[in-house]
Amino acid sequence: MDTGIFDDIFETPKVKKIKEAVQTIKEVKPQEIEISKIKNPRFHDRSYVSPERIVSLAENIKEYGLAQPIVVRKLPDGSYERIIGYIRIKAFEYLKKDKIPAIVLDVDEETALALMISENAQREDLNDYDKLMSHLDYLSFILKKDRQEVIKLARKVFNYISGNIKELSSEERKEAQIIEKTLHRLSGTNLRTFIERLKMLNVVPQIKEAIRKYGWSYSLAIEVNKLREYPDKMDSLIKKIVNENLSKKEVERLVKEMLGEEAEKRVKNPFKEAFKDINRKVSSVYRKLPEPEKKKIEREIEKKLSEIYRLLEKYD
């Protein structure tokens, strides 16, 4: 378990606690604990594991035994919170076992989360959605902000880097450095990639399910999500991808064809481009005008818009 991802992010005493916990995992003898007393952590770490994988591990455990115990922490009410070992627990449940070998740690929630993140950072089998949520929850934890606040901050920092806004506060600059450093250490990515991946939070539920269940990549999910306004077509394509194992290129072609079919059905607005052009011209001219002239042109445009609205209301 690589705890180096926390250097320079946590304060030194916190890193020390994490490393002490890792050493305990290596040295302490596991004990048998009741599976029914194990609770899932409140932070996101994994949303889906295929039944085939659980069965495969269960058969392996049945034949060779459990290679590595799970890791949990003891809670005040006598139950346990899982830190490491979700699939192993599922495999034991599949084998109808009541107990499982576990390393029981006496650590706080912060240290438990750090251990979980360290394990996830080295895992190659997490799907893109689970990786994103794991990183988001971790940033939320170390920055002491909720998910939406982290997303808002990340977007603001990205806009600053892109030159769309002029300044950040000193606190925001410090937090920006933490975000960049954390993303690099967790997965070798940067803020631009993180912002792009946030689009996965807005895909429709069927696609989120496909990411979790079939391990769809971020790019495939975003491509299929282009059909979100046409649920029947989208559901049909999802089934086709799963059943025929379509390549990304094949999916892009089908999405383009489906969107083309829908575009042909729509009644075209003959004034769409004209209104776009007017909008561009207004923006260009408006910036150059002195304040009195701005008020004058606003009144003239509002008159013309009122005439257009009155005309359209006759046929509405």
pLDDT score, position 48: 67
Inside any domain, residue 105:
yes
Q: Do 167 and 111 reside in the same domain of the chain? A: no
Of 14-28, 122-136, 248-262, which range is least confident? 122-136
Q: Do 31 and 66 reside in the same domain of the chain? A: yes
pLDDT score, position 266: 62
Q: Do 18 and 109 reside in the same domain of the chain? A: yes
Residue 3, pLDDT > 60, answer no
Residue 153: band (very low, low, confident or very high) from pLDDT cuts 50, 70, 90: very high
Inside any domain, residue 230:
yes
Inside any domain, residue 206:
no
Instruction: Concatenate the DSSP letters of all residues of the chain into one string.
Output: --GGGGTTTS-HHHHHHHHHHHHHHHHSPPEEEEGGGEE--SS---S---HHHHHHHHHHHHHH--SS-EEEEE-TTS-EEEEE-HHHHHHHHHTT-SEEEEEEE---HHHHHHHHHHHHHT-S---HHHHHHHHHHHHHHHHT--HHHHHHHHHHHHHHHTTSS----HHHHHHHHHHHHHHHHHHS--HHHHHHHGGGGGS-HHHHHHHHHH---HHHHHHHGGGTT-HHHHHHHHHHHHHHT--HHHHHHHHHHHHHHHHHHSPP-TTHHHHHHHHHHHHHHHHHS-HHHHHHHHHHHHHHHHHHHHHHHTT-
Residue 146, pLDDT > 60, answer yes
Share of the chain above pLDDT 90, in %: 43
Q: Do 235 and 289 reside in the same domain of the chain? A: no
Q: Do 59 and 98 reside in the same domain of the chain? A: yes
Number of domains in the chain: 4
Residue 103: band (very low, low, confident or very high) from pLDDT cuts 50, 70, 90: very high
pLDDT score, position 310: 84
Q: Do 245 and 228 reside in the same domain of the chain? A: yes
- Structural domain boundaries enclosing 36: 3-121
- From 245, 265, 285, the end of a domain falls on 265
Write the CATH number for 80. Answer: 3.90.1530.10
Residue 292, pLDDT > 70, answer yes
Residue 110, pLDDT > 90, answer no
Q: Do 283 and 304 reside in the same domain of the chain? A: yes
Q: State the pTM of this model.
A: 0.64
Mean pLDDT of the chain: 85
- From 96, 121, 146, the end of a domain falls on 121
The mean pLDDT of 66-72, rounded to a whole number, is 93
Q: Do 92 and 174 reside in the same domain of the chain? A: no
